[in-house]
Amino acid sequence: NSGDTAYVEPNHYNLGCMLEHSTWYEKYRLGNNSENPSQRLTFSPDAGTKLGVYFGWRWIFVGYSFALNNVQPEIDMDLNLYCSRAGIELFYRKRSDGFKIRSLKGFYENDIPLTNYNKEFNGLSTSQVGANVFYIFNSKKFSFPAAYSQSTNQRKSAGSLILGLSYNEQLFMFDHTTIDSKIESQMLPELKFKKIDYMDLSINFGYSYNWVFAKNFLANISSSPAIGYKSTSLKSLTSSNTEFISSINFDLVSRLALVYNNGRYYAGASFVSHTYSYSNPSLSIINGFGYLKIYAGFNFWRRK
């Protein structure tokens, strides 16, 4: 964690306490790859919210959070480790209910296009497991933890190139027979799949910048486009065979943060968004998830 202290000031306290409110979203868009006719279905659950209390020793925080509404996924686990030169992010999520059809394209009722549908749909279940590992080149003057874990304090504006490696595995189980009959009867055969399981290994290269726009105030923006290799298995309802496809796809990880930190007291907000895409000659899936965290805390027991 060593660096240029004129740019990055280390944490001078042993212990910390933090209160955090978090909100996250998920979104899935299914569509065919032909223009005539073209169909799209967009699914997402309502946004979930949690409130948590955390206690930390230096850069390790543990705590407890509880749900504020009843739209939580069955499993939602994250582990994030950041130091001046590198970061590791691990996650696992699973959801089998609570989805809604938000919008449609290419579907009609009495020759009138159906667009904003917004009805419950329990025929979709998803799971995601993944890991992101990245290296920060300008670690002497730029601090990623100052924006996303408050374990350091950025004193002067600085940025850095970031090189990362990501692994992501996703499973989609889709039962089109549970959709409203007027929509199901119009669905193209390529949208009537049963299961898609794909593995994505990608390299991402991006840039992150910490802007110190006032004393103790920091704004961060980060973007890391990724190019990856995908290996996919698709199980169709219209065939007893499993189709295996390999392809090259593009994904994106974006981050935003706003922080006030005077060394002892801190408060801020951060937003992280992950976008993934899958495509074969007949079917495309774009899915994303993200979370917004608003927090406030303080440090105590100053180091000698």
Mean pLDDT split into 10-residue runs, the chain, 304 residues: 85 93 90 84 90 86 84 80 89 88 88 84 90 94 92 93 91 88 88 84 93 96 87 67 68 92 95 82 84 95 88
List helix spans (H) across the chain.
Answer: 144-148, 181-184
Structure tokens that stand for 81 in this block: 């480790």
Please give the pLDDT value at position 1. 60
Overall size of the chain counted in residues: 304
Structure tokens that stand for 107 in this block: 């579907």
Name, in order, each residue with C-beta under 8 angstroms of 60's C-beta and a sequence gap of 6 or more: none
- Closest by alpha carbon to 142, among 270, 8, 261, 1? 8
Please give the pLDDT value at position 242. 67
Distance CA 87, CA 298 (A): 23
Mean pLDDT of the chain: 87
Q: Look up residue 94 and give its amino acid.
A: K
Please give the pLDDT value at position 245. 65
- Closest by alpha carbon to 55, among 82, 87, 7, 18? 18
Determine whether 144 is exposed, middle or buried from the number of CB atoms within 10 Å of its CB (0-12, 13-18, 19+).
buried
- Closest by alpha carbon to 68, among 93, 52, 51? 51
Distance CA 228, CA 166 (A): 9
Please give the pLDDT value at position 56. 87
Predicted TM-score of the model (pTM):
0.88
Please give the pLDDT value at position 240. 62
Please give the pLDDT value at position 6. 92
Name, in order, each residue with C-beta under 8 angstroms of 254's C-beta and a sequence gap of 6 or more: 222, 223, 224, 272, 273, 275
Distance CA 170, CA 124 (A): 13
Distance CA 76, CA 283 (A): 28
